[in-house]
Structures are given as structure tokens and as C-alpha cells.
């Protein structure tokens, strides 16, 4: 289930502009007035300068809260994770200031063209352990900025366990998030309770996260909405004593998630996307085969369809002999449409019907709700579902974050040993060459050389993930498995992961020439295995080697192309690895994919290294991509 991210973004933008333009203008004017009135008068009292911008604060705590919220830099969290003492923390501050002054990212080392570009680039660290190595240098014991009062004030009372967990400055919170705190006492209690429940769940989940680093402080728990709250609520956890701040943050995040969900489900009200999905023969045939060709699984079964859309999978399940099909759809319009379609085909379950069977076709009941709120709409016996089916996959498999909802339904309603369809998912990665870029097009435009445009397009592509179709002839390395999921047993927190892969140059000829690898392409397969589909297992593949699907593939372009060749290539010892004179025989990748702070989006980090035939290795700066 995927839709064009550019169309989604435009739809969301237009919707938000219409709904929020007036309120935003008033709000900005109010803040401008406050800043003009108070700025001069209070500036002399604000002695702590932000590490990344020109903002000043009256306390270290307020400054670090601002850095965490506005610049993705959690000083106290990094200090605790690395076990930094006073001197290590002292070095960290000087190191960050030195990198910012050079317009360089403190985390991944990427050099930006301007301070504004750096502000846009800043992100959560991929691996803070790499920062520890940089702090070995004693030069960072020398203050980078003269009269930097932060260097002598950040420690506070180190004997107090909560020294790094003081309450938020509410005015700074409002400045960063642009929202207002609710005043209704009942709502305050409800949201505060949900926030506390979220924190308890998250701590438990984090303890079993297998060391996977979340790129964006992605949440691991399930709350009132059943979905991840992201970085904003994560900040709540470290400030448990300030009730007003906790309530404020819960309100901000809850409203933001509701707005994104409304936009997300609303976008599926357009029939065009449903036609695209149903017309995707690879997709629809795989589900039809899994549901219709496995009678021992479906005959007489209670089936739950999460995110039913038009209800096509529910119709297949009913056709296969299911005794009851619970079709869940969060889009109000599509729930109505699915109900009408089931009725038009004589498959809608009447409220007076008992359990259906193959001779009683009225088995489908459509419920308009998010699956996390299903209990509020109908009563279903816990663990009373035989088969859970859903077409939840997005671009790069995990875009749209719908898998979390499917796992929620699995844990609550699927009976022990029940079937989940599909039951496996695998992400693959391979390197692509020049043919996978726009360069060939621009090199010959009606006989004219416009390659200067092509080069700029490729450079821009290194900043954003692309969703396009790659021809398998344009792959210049082998394909490797990046990550596999067992949907019947995986834990919800395992949706976020870090994995490594090794790619080797592949050549269809024997001349052993070098070629350029411009980036990597990701795709996925989902399996309906013989664990549940005993009569007819099948695979849904989005590979470049199979007919194209509406998911296409996800392309991550390198900062610069890496020359690759087989092991037989005679490399020059003095040349840099990855160049034409010394191509890499292997490309080593470390890729992290995590739910982003922007609800339903994902962050992808890409770390790349090349190894030549003599064992020399070269690494390139890490890249961060946001799929929105």
C-alpha cells in the first residue's frame, strides 16, 4: 500500500494551509510582538549561547532543551550514553562549537555550504560511539569560544540523579513548537496518564531493543492511538516532574498525530490510488492466490483485514469460505464504499446474521476505525481471529508506518498459532550504475550535450530518496539481504533497525573493466510461506528482476560515484580507493531505517566504505535521507 510521496506532501500542505493559515498568522504576530518588547530588556540576562544558532538562554537546562528540540542534539542523553565525565563533556561542547563554526555536522561530518544549510541538515546521531573517538583530542580542552559560560555551568549538582532531567522552560517549549497548552482539567489528567503509560511501556521495550539505534528517537510503545509518538514525547520521559510541560507536550504530539492521520487516511479517499493498487497485478494476484488457493486455511475461518480500502482482500476471504470477515478501515469515505461494495456483491453481514458459512455469503462487516480503537466500535473476543491479512507495505517496505498497526492487531486478536498474511518480509539492497541515473538522458538531447544538467540532478539526488523503477541491467553489484522480518513473531520495536551488507562488483563480461556505482537501490519481497499457506505458498516481489509494481524501488544516491571492479583488476597502490585507478572490489554498507519524528515517515541513514583488492579501505561521510 503506497502512494506517491510528492502527491501526499502536496495534499497535506494544501490541507494544512487552509485550516491553519489564520491561526498561524495571529500566532506569529503575537510572538513577534513579545520578542520585540522583551528582547532588549531580557537579553543581558541570557548568558548561555546556543551551540547551533544565535539564541540565548538564562539557564543550561533551557539551552539544552532547545538544542534537543530544535537541533536534534540531546546533550544530556549523549553524555549519559557515552559515560562522559566533566572533562569529556567539556570537550563535547568545544567539539560541537568548532564543527558548527565550520558549517560541519557534528554527528556525520558532512560539510554544508552555509549556516542555514547546516541548520536544515542537523539530525540525530547515527552512532554516538564514533563521536567518542573524536573527543580523545586534548585540543578540545581549550575553550573554542572565549568567555563561554556554558563550559563552567553544565554540570550542576552531579550527585543528584535528576541533575540532567530538570523541567522544561514552558516559554521555550512554546517558542519551539508554536502551540498552546490546554487548560481543561479532565483532558489534562487523561493525556498525562497516557504520557506516563507511554513512558513505562517505552522503557520496557527499549530494554529489549537488541542495541538497534533509532535515528530519530522513534517511539517503541503503544499509547491511546496505538501509534508511536516520536521524539516530542521522548522528551517528556526525561522531565517527569513538570506536570504542565508533560501535558503540553502530550497535547502537541497528540494534535500533530491526529492531523497527520486525518491527512493520511483522507488521502486514501481518492479512488485513483485504489485503482493503481488493484491494477498492480503482481500485488493483487499474490493476495488472491494466497487467499483462494489455500482452502485449509480460509474455510470457516474468522478473518481480520486491517486497512481494507475497497475491501478487495475481504472479498477474496469471503469467496474462499471464511465464516466471518472483519474489515477495518480508518477512512470514513472508504469504509462507506467498502460497505456498499460488500452489499452489492451479496457478501455484507447483516446485524441479525449468525456465524456465516460457505452457504451463507453474508460474512463481511466493515468497521470505520483505526485498528487501535477497534474495541470502542465492536466487541471481538481477544485472540479470536484465525487469519490476519493486510496489505500494509509502503515504499521501502516501511514507509507509512502501518506495520505497527498490524502487529498491534496480531498481538491483541490473532489466536495462538493463527496465520498472518503475509508472514515474512525481506529488504534487499544492490548498487546501481550510470544507467540508473538521469545522466544518459541529458548527455544526448536531440544531439546536444546537456550533461551539466544531469550532473546537478545527480548531486541533488544525494539529498533525497527517490522512488523510481530501476532496470536490473543497471545494477553493477550483486544483491544482498539487508533485513528480514518474521511477521508472526517479531516485536514492534524491531520495526526500527540497523543492518550491514556487503556488495561485490558483478560483471557480465570478462574484460574486468571498472565501472561507477552511483548509489544503492532498496526493494522488498513479502512471503506467503508454507507455514500457513500449505497448499499454495507465494511471494510478492518488488525486485528489479521481476515485473514492476506500484512500489517501484527506493533509490539512495551517493555523494559521489564509487568506482568498482572485480578482484582481477590491477589497482594502483598510490590511488584513492573508489577511483578509476583503484576501484573497490567490495562496498560495505551500514543502513539504519527508523520511524521519523514526523509521523508515518521514515529516516534512512547510509554509511558507505569501499575496499580494494589489496585490503585498503576508504569511508565516505554518512548520509541521512527522510522519506516523506
Query: Which residue numbers are catalytic?
Result: 391, 400
Half-sphere exposure of 335 (CA within 13 A, CB side): 18
Torsion angle in degrees (nearest 10) through CA of 417, 422, 423, 428? 180
Rounded to 10°, the helix 60-71/75-82 angle is: 90
- Strands 324-329 and 302-306, by their bridges, are parallel
* Exposure b/e, 336-347, CB count within 10 A at least 16 = b: ebbbebbeeeeb
Alpha carbon distance 492, 209 (integer Å): 10
Residue 282, C-beta contacts closer than 8 angstroms, at least 6 positions apart: 540, 541, 542, 546, 547, 549
- Neighbouring C-beta atoms of residue 285, cutoff 10 Å: 12
Query: Dihedral sign, CA of 204, 205, 208, 209?
Result: negative
Is-contact 475 431, C-beta < 8 A?
A: yes
Is-contact 426 484, C-beta < 8 A?
A: yes
Alpha carbon distance 254, 233 (integer Å): 10
Alpha carbon distance 330, 264 (integer Å): 10
- Strands 414-421 and 385-389, by their bridges, are parallel
What does the DSSP 8-state code read for residue 360? B
Alpha carbon distance 575, 563 (integer Å): 12
Alpha carbon distance 535, 225 (integer Å): 38
Q: Is 262 helix (H, G, I), strand (E, B) or coil?
A: helix
Is-contact 432 557, C-beta < 8 A?
A: no
Alpha carbon distance 375, 381 (integer Å): 10
SS (H, E, C) 107-172: CCCCECCCHHHHHHHCCCCCCCHHHHHHCCCHHHHCCCCCCCHHHHCCCCCCCCCCCCCCCCCHHH
End-to-end CA separation in angstroms for the chain: 15
Q: Which of 558, 485, 476, 553 is nearest to 522 (CA)?
A: 553
Alpha carbon distance 556, 531 (integer Å): 34
Alpha carbon distance 131, 518 (integer Å): 28
Rounded to the nearest angstrom, the gap between the alpha carbon of residue 103 and the centroid of all alpha carbons in its chain is: 26
In angstroms, what is the C-alpha Rg of the chain? 27
Is-contact 482 499, C-beta < 8 A?
A: yes
Q: Which of 227, 255, 215 is nearest to 74 (CA)?
A: 215
Alpha carbon distance 564, 520 (integer Å): 13
Amino acid at each position: 500500500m503506497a502512494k506517491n510521496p510528492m502527491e501526499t506532501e502536496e495534499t497535506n500542505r494544501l490541507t494544512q494551509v487552509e485550516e491553519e493559515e489564520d491561526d498561524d498568522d495571529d500566532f506569529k504576530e503575537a510572538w513577534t510582538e513579545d520578542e520585540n518588547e522583551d528582547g532588549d530588556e531580557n537579553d543581558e540576562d541570557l548568558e548561555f549561547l546556543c551551540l547551533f544558532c544565535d539564541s540565548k538562554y538564562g539557564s543550561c537546562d533551557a539551552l539544552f532543551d532547545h538544542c534537543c528540540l530544535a537541533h536534534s542534539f540531546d546533550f544530556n542523553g549523549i553524555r549519559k550514553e557515552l559515560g562522559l565525565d566533566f572533562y569529556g563533556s567539556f570537550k563535547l561542547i568545544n567539539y560541537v562549537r568548532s564543527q558548527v563554526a565550520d558549517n560541519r555536522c557534528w554527528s556525520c561530518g558532512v560539510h554544508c555550504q552555509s549556516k542555514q544549510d547546516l541548520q536544515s541538515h542537523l539530525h540525530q546521531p547515527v552512532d554516538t560511539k564514533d563521536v567518542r573517538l573524536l573527543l580523545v583530542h586534548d585540543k578540545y580542552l581549550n575553550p573554542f569560544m572565549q568567555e563561554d559560560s556554558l563550559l563552567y555551568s553544565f554540570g550542576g549538582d552531579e550527585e543528584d540523579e535528576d541533575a540532567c532531567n530538570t523541567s522544561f522552560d514552558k516559554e521555550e517549549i512554546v517558542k519551539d513548537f508554536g502551540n498552546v497548552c490546554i487548560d481543561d482539567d479532565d483532558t489534562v489528567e487523561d493525556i498525562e496518564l497516557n504520557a506516563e503509560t507511554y513512558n513505562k511501556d517505552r522503557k520496557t521495550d527499549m530494554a529489549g531493543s537488541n542495541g538497534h539505534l533509532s535515528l530519530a528517537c522513534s517511539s517503541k510503545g503503544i499509547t491511546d492511538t496505538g501509534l508511536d509518538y516520536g521524539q516530542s514525547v521522548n522528551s517528556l520521559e526525561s522531565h517527569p516532574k513538570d506536570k504542565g510541560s508533560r501535558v503540553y507536550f502530550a497535547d502537541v504530539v497528540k494534535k500533530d498525530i491526529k492531523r497527520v492521520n486525518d491527512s493520511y487516511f483522507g488521502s486514501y479517499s481518492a479512488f485513483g490510488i485504489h485503482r493503481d493498487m488493484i491494477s498492480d497485478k503482481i500485488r493483487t494476484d499474490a493476495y488472491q492466490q494466497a487467499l483462494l488457493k489455500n482452502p485449509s486455511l480460509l474455510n470457516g475461518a474468522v478473518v481480520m483485514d486491517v486497512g481494507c480500502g475497497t475491501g478487495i482482500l475481504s472479498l477474496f476471504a469471503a469467496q474462499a469460505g471464511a465464516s466471518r470477515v472483519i474489515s477495518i478501515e480508518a477512512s470514513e469515505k472508504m469504509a462507506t464504499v467498502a460497505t456498499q461494495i460488500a452489499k452489492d456483491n451479496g457478501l455484507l453481514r447483516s446485524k441479525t446474521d449468525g456465524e456465516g458459512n460457505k452457504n451463507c455469503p453474508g460474512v463481511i462487516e466493515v468497521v470505520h476505525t483505526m485498528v487501535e480503537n477497534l474495541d470502542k466500535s465492536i466487541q471481538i473476543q481477544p485472540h479470536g481471529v484465525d487469519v490476519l491479512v493486510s496489505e500494509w507495505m509502503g515504499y521501502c517496505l516501511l514507509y507509512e508506518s502501518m506495520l505497527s498497526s498490524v502487529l498491534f492487531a496480531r498481538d491483541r486478536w490473532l489466536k495462538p498459532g493463527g496465520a498472518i498474511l503475509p508472514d515474512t518480509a525481506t529488504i534487499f539492497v544492490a548498487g546501481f550504475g550510470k544507467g540508473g541515473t538521469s545522466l544518459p538522458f541529458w548527455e544526448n538531447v536531440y544531439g546536444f550535450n546537456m550533461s551539466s544538467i544531469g550532473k546537478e540532478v545527480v548531486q541533488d539526488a544525494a539529498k533525497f530518496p527517490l522512488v523510481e523503477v530501476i532496470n536490473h541491467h543497471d545494477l553493477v553489484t550483486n544483491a544482498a539481504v539487508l533485513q528480514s522480518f518474521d511477521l508472526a513473531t517479531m516485536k514492534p520495536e524491531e520495526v526500527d533497525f540497523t543492518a550491514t551488507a556487503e556488495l561485490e562488483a558483478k560483471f557480465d563480461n570478462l574484460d574486468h573493466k571498472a565501472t561507477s556505482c552511483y548509489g544503492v537501490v532498496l526493494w522488498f519481497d513479502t512471503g506467503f510461506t508454507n507455514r500457513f499457506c500449505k497448499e499454495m505458498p507465494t511471494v510478492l516481489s518488488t525486485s528489479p528482476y521481476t515485473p514492476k509494481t506500484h512500489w517501484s524501488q527506493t533509490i539512495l544516491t551517493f555523494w559521489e560515484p564509487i568506482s568498482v571492479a572485480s578482484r582481477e583488476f590491477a589497482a594502483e597502490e598510490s590511488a584513492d580507493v573508489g577511483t578509476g585507478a583503484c576501484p573497490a572490489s567490495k562496498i560495505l554498507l551500514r543502513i539504519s531505517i527508523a520511524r521519523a519524528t514526523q509521523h508515518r515517515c521514515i529516516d534512512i541513514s547510509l554509511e558507505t566504505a569501499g575496499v580494494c583488492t589489496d585490503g585498503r579501505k576508504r569511508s565516505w561521510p554518512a548520509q541521512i535521507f527522510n522519506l516523506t
